[in-house]
């Protein structure tokens, strides 16, 4: 009986003991065959490990959170290496930027940063395998070629498997500048690939940060100070400590670094549920401090006031003030949006074991180096002495870039002298996060005599992410407003202003970041201007682009117009007059994170009942690595865009978040899922990312569609806020 | 005498506080981590398992209430990961992060056990308690339809 109990010991990321270990700049001398290799003796960037039985391990240095990077990049390595993808195992690399390159996974940057270095690692491996074969056959390397895990001798039936060649290959010099494959020769890049981990997912074997089990593991739950910069006034621990199974109550002080804990009280027990019961039994009083005044309803009104009057000029070309004064026609509008919580399905979770001479972490994370840095600061140790096992994240969307939850687990482990698993409750995850900025934007545009928009004023106000790093930041800085100024619409007189917006909570990156509200304002306002001008929005958008004569933006304009045209065509936009009453198609296009996405949203509106029937997404992200992965990212972006368009908003009152769980922070569910059709542009351009760019076009395409269907213009997101 | 329950065909002692939700009994006591914690309030479906073949939310079901009952988790849905839904999930490449998918699959299996040919509306009704933040709903719908078709062929 009870023989089901098992210990799932963690797979070590260190594989094998001999064979070819190769990275970007590994000296070949380090690969000697008879010297049992220890990874730590090598450096840097060891992405490939091939053993004598042919088993090939490819390490992914970038963090996986569902975006599919641990398939896309390793498949590119396998392609260049001529490895058989079926014989490749992908492992998540531990936190080590010296070895694996930049690992902070955000900004849709993984493919942009690592596409070439990882392909080069694969190409070097192939060269060394071919060199080993050439040596074996005593021939020139030119007579050897690798294909699907073998090296063949030209004009003969001789072949050697990668496994047979592994040891000898390890002694071959690595080429300086390996030749990369031509597009026509790609075996995996740009193809339709299954994720390497889906087989494990469907049987419940994929393990996440929340799933780490270790011998002697203790379980913790936590309640945080609900207000930024507040303090613990008092805590009565007696009822919690009286619960059977509760071993400790640990006070955690606010660590005043950007990714440190807000401060809180944790309960430690022999299982998570008992720890949660312990937290419920605590009697805690907090001193809210100066942010106890934060109320998002009044704050948003203040943001609106701050953008409806002159603010700090961040960028200008021409003279928008005069242009607006002399304009034949003008139009203005104000748009707002609320705070958003990332709310990935896996709440913040990690295991940390702090010992006198070591500290090991198992965490769902987007940035292992930040864990090393923060824990190093907290424990007063060197960052490289913090070992971080990067676990699969059950969703992240920007939240798991910050490691406050890991810091807390470390603080508890240090105190109770055991490995500790801390899992945040959904309520804590929702109430003490790093939120997407609530925002207000005021736009004014002026038309010249020919009906061209020649003046554009955009005032933005939102609490800035920079406030995390510098509390004196009172408004969005130029780094956050430059995307407005650089928008590729052709506007002669342009002025961008930033209104005051002091942060009263922690602000963080949320999938698509600024593009959420900038995309909403640009594409909504352009639609309003089209209607004002009596023009078809599609024609009007093209005109806005065509008026841009800046040669530096020519490519941007061409690619933006191409995705717009594709989305419009595929959606039946040009035949929209045939749609039944109540139905319409809205368009939006936005360039963000170096990628181009346009959406056509087809709605059926009956009173307050808004049904999204179809969404056509057109995408240009340069060379695509995995067409299935790109498609999935767009489908997911539509769902997230639809959640934040319709429902999601974090509300603060008296400094605290009022929402608590999915009943009062409703996200999109399957019954509202539209039919999403993704149209990928086949491109040879430099590959860019797709984790974020799909989110921003959805909200304005939706509200533009609703306007076309009903004449009602929604300028405030979400359009169906829940009262909490 | 200690109560017992049956998990994936094996008898297990309920050797914890009986009010502990089944979810934490599975995850922390038995270390069956395939069943996920998402909300703790029966709102998201990540913890869905079967009680005598029907979907329940393990996060709000006290383990003590399950004496002599039979529980199936994702680990026990099929012998070799070959339930028609698991196959359809792979054919349609449903998972992104995958965290909610055990709950989605278990809920879908419960649906198909009661309704072998669900309409789109039936699928939406049955599956709307399961949240996916990555946004895989379109593929989930398709996978359930495919699995239903496959089951119809087998029948």
Contact across the interface for B38 and A347, Cβ inside 8 Å:
yes
- CA–CA distance, B62 with A168 (Å, rounded to integer): 60
Task: Say if residues A320 and A460 touch (Cβ distance below 8 Å).
Answer: no
Q: Touching check for A68 and chain B: CB below 8 Å?
A: yes
Quickly count: other Cβ atoms within 10 Å of residue A86's Cβ.
Answer: 8
**Does the pLDDT at position A18 exceed 50?**
no
Query: Domain end: B46, B75, B104, which one?
Result: B75
Tokens encoding A518: 């900038």
CATH code for position B31: 3.10.20.30
Residue with tokens 């040669």: A551
- Which residue did the predictor score with more confidence, A29 or A363? A363
End-of-domain residue from the set A152, A174, A202: A202
Range of the domain at A348: 209-290+342-431
Is A70 at the interface with chain B, CB within 8 A?
A: no
Average pLDDT over residues A317-345: 97
Of residues A2, A195, A344, nearest to B133 (C-beta):
A344
Look over chain A and give the mean of its residue pLDDT values, rounded to a whole number.
93
Interchain CB distance below 8 Å, A397 and B133: yes
Q: Which residue has the higher pLDDT, A568 or A166?
A: A568
Cβ–Cβ of A669/B135 closer than 8 Å? no
Contacts of A425 in chain B (CB under 8 A): 40
**Mean pLDDT in residue range A93-117:** 92
Are A121 and A223 in the same domain?
no
3-state helix, strand, coil in chain B (%, to 5): 45, 15, 45
- Tens-digit pLDDT profile for residues A83-104: 999 999 999 999 999 889 899 9
Q: Enumerate the β-bridge partners of residue B84.
A: none
Q: Does residue A28 surpass a pLDDT of 90?
A: no
Give the gap in angstroms from C-alpha B150 to the nearest C-alpha of chain A: 17
Pairing of strands A652-653, A656-657: antiparallel
Query: What was the pLDDT predicted at A54?
Result: 87
Name the helix (H) or strand (E) containing B56.
strand B54-57
Among the partner-chain residues A5, A640, A667, the one whose CB lies closest to the CB of B30 is A5
Does the pLDDT of residue A5 top 70, yes or no? Answer: no
> A230 and A89: one domain?
no
Q: Are residues B71 and B38 in the same domain?
A: yes
Q: Do A45 and A168 fall within a single domain?
A: yes
Number of domains chain A contains: 2
Last residue of a domain, one of B75, B106, B124: B75
The 10s digit of each residue's pLDDT in B4-61 is 999 999 999 999 999 999 999 999 999 999 999 999 999 999 999 999 999 999 999 9
Least CB-CB distance to A206: which of B8, B98, B132?
B98
Predicted local confidence at residue A267, as pLDDT? 99
Please give the share of chain A, as a percent, with pLDDT higher than 70.
Answer: 94
Could B96 and A636 be called an inter-chain contact, meaning their C-beta atoms sit closer than 8 Å?
yes
pLDDT(A39) > 60: no
Predicted pLDDT at A27: 29
Q: Which residues of A touch B138 (CB under 8 A)?
A: 635, 673, 675-676
Please compute the mean of the pLDDT values over residues A290-313 and round it to a whole number.
98
Find chain B residues with C-beta within 8 A of A346's C-beta: 36, 38, 97, 99
Closest CA of chain B from A647, distance in Å: 13
Look at B99 and A4 and tell me if their CB atoms are within 8 Å. Answer: no
At residue A562 the predicted structure's pLDDT band, cuts being 50, 70 and 90, is very high
* B12 → chain A, closest CA residue: A2
How much of chain B, in percent, has pLDDT values that exceed 70?
A: 100
A contacts of B75 (beta carbons < 8 Å): 203-205
Residues A82 and A189 in one domain: yes
Whole-number pLDDT of residue A21 = 59
DSSP string, A295-361: -HHHHHHHHHHHHSS--EEEEEES-HHHHHHH-SEEEEEEEEE-BB----SS-SEEEEEEETTEEEE
The structure tokens listed for A422 are 């801390």
Got the DSSP string for A514-560?
HHHHHHHHHHHHHHHHHHHHT--HHHHHHHHHHT---GGGHHHHHHH
Residues B35 and B62 in one domain: yes
Q: In the prediction, which pLDDT does A53 show?
A: 87
What is the model's pLDDT at position A298?
A: 98
Residue where a domain stops, chosen among A405, A431, A457: A431
Report pLDDT for B133: 98
Contacts of A397 in chain B (CB under 8 A): 133
Would the CB atoms of A670 and B16 count as touching at under 8 Å? no
Rounded Cα distance, A76 and A58, in Å? 10
Same domain (yes/no): B10, B69: yes
Poorest-confidence range of A2-6, A390-394, A445-449, B21-25? A2-6
- Could you identify the residue written with the tokens 């506007």? A491
Provide the pLDDT for residue A19: 56
pLDDT in the model for residue B154: 83
Chain B residues whose CB is inside 8 A of the A281 CB are none
Q: What is the CATH number of the domain that holds B129?
A: 1.10.150.120
Stretch among A156-170, A560-574, A581-595, B93-107 having the lowest mean pLDDT: A156-170
CA–CA separation, A13 and A36 (whole Å): 16
Residue A38 pLDDT exceeds 60 = no
Q: Average pLDDT, stretch A640-663?
A: 98
Spatial strand order of the sheet with A218-224 comes to: A246-252, A264-269, A218-224, A420-423, A349-355, A358-364, A386-391
- Our CA-based measurement puts residue A219 at a distance from the nearest CA of chain B, in whole angstroms, of 9
In 3D space, the residue among A324, A427, A489 whose CA is nearest the CA of residue A657 turns out to be A427
Q: How many domains does chain B have?
A: 2
């Amino acid at each position: 009986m009870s023989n089901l109990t098992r210990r799932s010991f963690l797979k070590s990321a260190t594989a094998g003991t001999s064979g070819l270990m190769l990275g970007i700049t590994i000296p070949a001398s380090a690969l000697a065959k008879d010297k049992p290799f220890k990874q730590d003796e090598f450096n840097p960037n060891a992405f490939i490990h091939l053993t004598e039985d042919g088993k090939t391990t490819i390490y992914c240095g970038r963090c996986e959170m569902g975006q599919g990077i641990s398939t896309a990049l390793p498949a590119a390595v396998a392609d260049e290496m001529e490895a058989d993808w079926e014989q490749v195992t992908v492992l998540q690399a531990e936190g080590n930027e010296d070895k694996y390159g930049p690992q902070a996974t955000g900004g849709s940057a993984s493919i942009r940063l690592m596409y070439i270095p990882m392909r080069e690692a694969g190409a070097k491996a192939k060269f060394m395998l071919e060199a080993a074969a050439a040596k074996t056959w005593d021939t020139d390397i030119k007579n050897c070629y690798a294909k699907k895990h073998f090296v063949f001798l030209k004009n003969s039936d001789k072949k050697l498997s990668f496994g047979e060649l592994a040891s000898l290959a390890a002694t071959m010099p690595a080429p300086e500048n390996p030749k990369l494959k031509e597009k026509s020769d790609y075996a995996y890049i740009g193809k339709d690939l299954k994720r390497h981990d889906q087989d494990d997912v469907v049987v419940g074997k994929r393990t996440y940060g929340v799933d780490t089990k270790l011998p002697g593991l203790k379980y913790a739950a936590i309640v945080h100070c609900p207000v930024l910069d507040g303090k613990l006034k008092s805590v009565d621990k007696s009822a919690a400590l009286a619960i059977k199974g509760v071993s400790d109550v640990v006070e955690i002080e606010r660590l005043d670094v950007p990714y440190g804990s807000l401060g809180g009280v944790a309960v430690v027990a022999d299982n998570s549920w008992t720890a949660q019961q312990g937290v419920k039994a605590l009697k805690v009083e907090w001193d809210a401090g100066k942010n106890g005044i934060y109320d998002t309803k009044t704050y948003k009104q203040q943001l609106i006031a701050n953008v409806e009057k002159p603010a700090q000029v961040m960028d200008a070309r021409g003279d928008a003030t005069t242009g607006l004064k002399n304009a034949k026609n003008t139009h203005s509008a104000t748009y707002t949006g609320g705070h958003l919580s990332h709310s990935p399905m896996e709440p913040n979770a990690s295991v940390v074991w702090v010992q006198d001479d070591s500290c090991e972490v198992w965490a769902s994370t987007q940035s292992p180096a930040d864990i090393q840095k923060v824990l190093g600061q907290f424990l007063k140790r060197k960052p490289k002495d913090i070992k971080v096992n990067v676990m699969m994240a059950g969703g992240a969307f920007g939240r798991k870039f910050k490691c406050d939850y890991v810091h807390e687990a470390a603080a508890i482990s240090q105190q109770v002298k055991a490995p500790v698993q801390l899992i945040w409750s959904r309520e804590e995850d929702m109430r003490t996060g790093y939120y997407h900025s609530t925002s207000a934007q005021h736009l004014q545009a002026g038309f010249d005599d020919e009906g061209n928009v020649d003046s554009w004023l955009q005032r933005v106000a939102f609490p800035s992410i920079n406030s995390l790093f510098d509390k004196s930041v009172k408004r969005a800085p130029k780094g956050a407003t430059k995307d407005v100024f650089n928008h590729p619409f052709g506007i002669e007189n342009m002025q961008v202003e930033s209104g005051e917006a002091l942060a009263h909570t922690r602000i963080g990156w949320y999938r698509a970041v600024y593009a959420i509200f900038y995309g909403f304002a640009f594409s909504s306002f352009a639609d309003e201007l089209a209607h004002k001008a009596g023009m078809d929005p599609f024609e009007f958008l093209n005109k806005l682009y065509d008026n841009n004569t800046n040669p530096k933006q020519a490519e941007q304009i061409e690619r933006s117009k191409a995705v717009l045209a594709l989305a419009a065509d595929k959606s039946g936009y040009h035949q929209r007059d045939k749609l039944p009453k109540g139905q319409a198609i809205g368009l939006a296009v936005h360039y963000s994170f170096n990628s181009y996405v346009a959406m056509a949203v087809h709605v059926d509106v009956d009173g307050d009942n808004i049904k999204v029937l179809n969404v056509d997404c057109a995408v240009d992200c340069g060379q695509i690595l995995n067409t299935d992965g790109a498609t999935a990212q767009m489908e997911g972006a539509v769902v997230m865009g639809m959640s934040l368009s319709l429902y999601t908003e974090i509300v603060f009152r008296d400094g605290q978040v009022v929402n608590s769980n999915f009943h009062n922070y409703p996200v999109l569910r399957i019954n509202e899922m539209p039919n999403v059709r993704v149209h990928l542009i086949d491109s040879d351009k430099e590959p860019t990312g797709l984790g974020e760019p799909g989110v921003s076009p959805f909200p304005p395409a939706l509200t533009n569609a609703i306007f076309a269907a009903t004449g009602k213009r929604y300028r405030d997101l979400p359009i169906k806020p829940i009262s909490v | 005498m200690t109560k017992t329950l049956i998990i994936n065909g094996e008898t297990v002692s309920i050797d914890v506080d009986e009010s502990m939700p089944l979810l934490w009994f599975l995850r922390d006591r038995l270390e069956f981590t395939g069943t996920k914690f998402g909300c703790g309030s029966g709102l998201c479906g990540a913890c869905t398992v079967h009680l005598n073949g029907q979907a329940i939310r393990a996060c709000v079901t006290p383990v003590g209430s399950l004496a002599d009952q039979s529980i199936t988790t994702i680990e026990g849905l099929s012998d070799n990961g070959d339930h028609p839904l698991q196959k359809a999930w792979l054919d349609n490449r449903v998972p992104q992060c995958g965290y909610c998918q055990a709950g989605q699959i278990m809920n879908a299996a419960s649906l198909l056990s009661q309704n072998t040919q669900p309409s789109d509306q039936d699928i939406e009704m049955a599956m709307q308690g399961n949240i996916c933040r990555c946004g895989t709903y379109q593929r989930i719908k398709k996978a359930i339809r495919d699995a239903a078709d496959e089951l119809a062929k087998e029948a």
